[in-house]
Structure 1
Amino acid sequence: MKTVTISGKNVPAIGIGTWHMGDDPAKETQEIEAIRAGIDAGAKVVDTAEMYGSGNSEILVGKALAPYERDDIFLISKVLPSNASKAKMEQHLDASLERLNTDYLDLYLYHWRGGTPLSETINELERLKQTGKIRAWGVSNFDVADLEELWDLPVGKNAAANEDLYNIETRGIEYDLTAWQAKHDLPLIAYSPVGGLHNELKTTMLENKVVQEIATAHGVSAHALLLAWVIRDGKTIAIPQSSKAQHVTNNVKAADIELSEDELRRLDKEYPQPDHKVPLAIN
């Protein structure tokens, strides 16, 4: 199983995303079973945020994780830009911890950039790390210019990860961001690794003939094959979301798929690498 080292911990490269989960009480049991199925299949990383359902996702995650040893899970949540100030962040972190029924986060991410000066946000994240309420902090939806600004801050290099949208159909970050992060030993967390839930444009990934042929050759679904592609470099964690237990189990098993150089070339031909800078994709 492919793994990635993040904040000093070695974790499976396929985690569990929870965006759009926790909002429908009728689906609670099914969604809890889905998260637990992923953990039982070997997943360690569970990603949520205070934004998701205005806290409903964190509540769901807290319930789902109740039977497990806390130290066996790498738990991530995120703070909204509007709450990322010295005056507000700790109370919002405390609220997230209460909803998650835990006394610490393994990783706390600044969800995206807002009006608070970056230095203030990062200094507060670093202070909260010293309290023990978070083991590490990172950022999300940052591009190269943002990361360079972060790296220039006195404690900016303490960032443990950057979470961005990334999949075979949306490869813009490969132009310069992935190389920058590799050079600076900053792991990438890929959200929407098989496309977003509410994309306005229909994805072609799952129906692509070459994707399907390679998936068939490996005896896996197109979905699993695309996840294996996202984590191919050994420096990326993918956090697909699903409310179906079997689907989540299959997602986790994608970390066992090894793609050949020929298969990667065929996929590159279908979905070419970027040859110019494009705006950071955000879903």
Structure 2
Amino acid sequence: MQQMEQRSLGRAGVGVPVVGLGTWQRLEAAARAGRHHELVNRAVDDGVRVFDSSPMYGRAERLLADALFDCRAEAFVATKVWAHSRSEGRAQLQQAADWFGGHVDLMQIHNLAGWQDHLPMLEAAREDGRVRLIGATHYSASAFRELARVM
């Protein structure tokens, strides 16, 4: 198993490797060839610990959870909530927590869609252990000041 350079993730101070594996389209293609376990295992063997997924990526989140089953403790899983309703966001969070052994390391609000509803839900999930860290993805520069205030 390779060791990889680490960097601190934001203000949380959590160290994560500088290289991760994004799952958009990649795991779907590997699964069609019957090789998603091989892809994830090879990444882990090469020192990758950060895996980024999303419920928007088709089956990728479920495929990743399946492939990480035996080494989940070694992985840092980042996923997203991208929902315009509170109930859909809650369902996305719970599904990810269930698939990834009860918790997600980083849950990100994508495009800041519905963030006013999702942020309190994610803060509660952080308190109860289903989410370790909260972040945001794909926000516009004009949203940065508000994002910095609330995160």
Q: TM-score, normalised by structure 2?
A: 0.84
The answer on 1:63 being equivalent to 2:52 is: no
Pick aligned residue for 2:145 from 139, 144, 148: 148
- Letter of the aligned partner of 2:84 in structure 1? S
The answer to whether 1:43 aligns with 2:28 is: no
Residues 1:108 and 2:111 are matched in the alignment? no
Q: CA deviation at 1:121?
A: 2.4
1:72 maps to which residue? 74
Alpha-carbon separation, structure 2, partners of 1:119 and 1:150: 11
The residue that corresponds to 1:26 in the other structure is 32
Could you say which structure has the greater relative contact order, defined with CA pairs below 8 angstroms and 6 or more residues apart?
1
Q: CA deviation at 1:132?
A: 0.9
Q: d(CA) in 2 for partners of 1:122 and 1:150?
A: 11
Q: Which blocks of at least 5 consecutive residues in structure 2 are unaligned?
A: none
Distance 1:122 1:101 in 2: 20
Q: Which one-letter code corresponds to 1:26 in the other structure?
A: R
Q: In the alignment, is the contact (CA less than 8 A) between 1:79 and 1:89 conserved in 2?
A: yes
Counterparts of 1:149 and 1:101 in 2: how far apart (Å)? Answer: 30
The aligned length equals: 145
Q: Report SS of the residue matched to 2:70.
A: coil
Partner of 2:89: 89
CA distance in 2, matches of 1:36, 1:112: 30
Checking the alignment, whether the CA contact within 8 Å between 1:47 and 1:77 is kept in structure 2 is yes
Tell me, yes or no, if the aligned pair for 1:81 and 1:112 is still in contact at 8 Å. no
C-alpha separation between the residues in 2 aligned to 1:149 and 1:130? 23
Structure number with bigger Rg: 1
Summarize the Cα distance change of 1:71–1:9 in structure 2 as closer, same or farther, 3 Å threshold.
farther
Q: Is the 8 A contact 2:28 2:60 kept in 1?
A: yes
3-state SS in 2 of match to 1:51:
coil
Q: Percent identity?
A: 24
Q: Which amino acid aligns with 1:80?
A: W
Greater fraction of residues in strand? 2
Task: Please give the alpha-carbon distance, in whole angstroms, between the structure 2 residues aligned to 1:46 and 1:40.
Answer: 14
